[in-house]
Every structure is written in structure tokens, then in C-alpha cells.
Amino acid sequence: MSATTVAAAEQPVTTGSRLAAVLRLNTVDLRGRVGGPWVILAAIFAVNFAIWWAIRVNVDDAGAGTTGAVSALFFIVGSTYLIAMTQVMPFALSLGLTRRHFYGGVSLLLAVETLFHALVLTALLGIERATDGWGIRMDFFSMSFIPEQNVLLQVLTYWGPLLTIGLVFLAVGAVFRRWGQFGVWTVMIGLVLVLGAITFVLTWQNAWPAFGSFFVETPIPVLMFGYPMILAAVAVVGGYLVVRRARV
């Protein structure tokens, strides 16, 4: 074997180096990656602010300024991770990365990225509250049914759903990688049937009041972080089991 043979100088392959490569593959355009969702959210904010400003100018008592617009961020995060599975993963596997490292690395990135979003949202919520809804009593960052609480719990309240939705989208992406469009449609139809069955049972048993009181009585951290984490765990484990036999 020649001294310049590339195989001869091979370096050890560590999990860390592989995960770092996966992170890099998903963040080559870091500015667009991190900035993109916030630019979109800023645009939504501007539109909502203009509308509520106009309402407050014309109507004395227009009620609470609830927008719910912050949920857009959930879907931006979700779609980003769907793309990670549909577009980035085939490229990653061509470069010799394993499914395990790719899925693990992307899940790790998701956890960090959504925590970052949760921290920024908490900070903006602080400003919103301090300025009495940006001076026009607009609830943009608050999810109105969640009462005031301490900062840590507020971060978890944002992080739990963001992380969960991201992992669910990642799992859907795993289904796409394994079974293609057909698999995604099957999952969607299955989901519709399950939700339909739950609705049917609740209606049949006249159990809607009990269902409603569950949401009211469950402590917010459990409802917004505890239960989502169960779904998150199911999504991440299920997604991995699906993707480990995926072809690209």
C-alpha cells in the first residue's frame, strides 16, 4: 500500500464527529435557518399590529386582542424538519452518514433550535406584558388561556409544544422516507380515523364536559410540557424505528 493512500491515514470515526457533520449539513445556511422564521413572524406581527391599532382607534371596547398568530412558528419549525428528512437525508446518506446519526443529530438540533425559539418567545412575551400588549392591548405572544407564571415554566410552555410538533413532523418525514407519499397518506387517514373514533366516543358517552374540565384542571406545566413530552417520546422512538430501514 502506498504511503499516500488515503485509507492508510484514516481517522477514528466518533459519534461526536458524525453528529457534528449532521448539524453542519442542516445549518449550512445558518442566517436563513435562524432568521427565516423570525422574519416571517415579524411580518405577521406587523400586519396584526396594524389591524389592532386600527381597531383600537375606531372602537372603544373591542375586547381582548387575541391573535393566536404565534402558532405560525410551530408550522414553520415543523416544515423545516420535514424538509430535513425529505431533502437533506438522502444527501447525508450519500456522504456516508448513517440513518441513526442523521436522525439523532437532527433531533438534537431540533431540541436546541426550539429551546432558542422558546427563550426568545418568553423574552418577547415579557415585553408584551410590560407594554400592555404593545400599547394596543394585543395578545400576540401570549397563548391567552395560559395564566401568568414564572419564567422557567413559561419557557417550558413554549418549548414543549414546539419540540413535540417538530418531532412529529420529523416522524412524518421518516414515514415518507420509508414508504413515500403512500405512507404519509396512510398515516393521515389513520389519524383521521382515530380522532374521529375519539370524537364519536366522547359524544356518544356525553363526555365532553369531562373532556373540557380535564384541560381546565390539569396544571399548565403538565398540560403544556408533561403530556407533549409523552407524544414527543413516542414520535422520536417511532420515527427512528421507521427510518432505520428506509431506503434512499
Partner 1 sequence: MSVLAMYGVTKRYGDVTALDDVSFTLEENRIHGLLGRNGAGKTTAMQILTAQNFATSGRAEIFGEQPYENARVLARTCFIRESLKYPDAYKVRHALAAAATVYPHWDPAFAEQLVEEFGLPAGRPCNKLSRGQQSAVGVVIGLASRAPLTFFDEPYLGLDAVARQLFYDRLLADYAVHPRTVILSTHLIDEVSDLIEHVVLIDQGRVLIDAGADDLRGRAVTVTGPVEPVERFARGHVELHREQLGGFLRVTLSGAEPEPRETSLQFEPVSLQQLVVRTTQLNSGARPDREVLS
Which of 73, 88, 125, 174 contacts partner 1 by CB under 8 A?
88
State the angle between helix axes of 30-58 and 99-130 in degrees (0 to 180), rounded to the nearest 10. Answer: 30
Q: How far apart are CA 233 and CA 242, in angstroms?
A: 14
Task: Check binding of 7 to partner 1 (CB under 8 A).
Answer: yes
Interface with partner 1 includes 97 (CB under 8 A)?
A: yes
Nearest approach, Cβ of residue 94 and partner 1 (Å): 5
Report in angstroms how near the CB of residue 75 gets to partner 1 at its nearest: 17
20 binds partner 1 (CB under 8 A): yes
Contact between 116 and partner 1 by CB under 8 A: the answer reads: no
CB 129 within 8 A of CB 40: no
Does residue 245 interact with partner 1 by CB under 8 A?
yes
Tell which one of 192, 201, 207, 248 touches partner 1 (CB under 8 A): 248
**By CB under 8 A, residue 240 contacts partner 1:** no
Residue choice 11, 58, 150, 181 for contact with partner 1 (CB under 8 A): 11
Per the listing, cell 446518506 goes with: 93
Count of residues in contact with partner 1, rule CB under 8 A: 38
- Give the interface with partner 1 as residue ranges (CB under 8 A): 1-2, 4-7, 9-11, 13, 15, 18, 20-21, 24-25, 28-29, 32-33, 83, 87-88, 90-91, 93-101, 244-245, 247-248
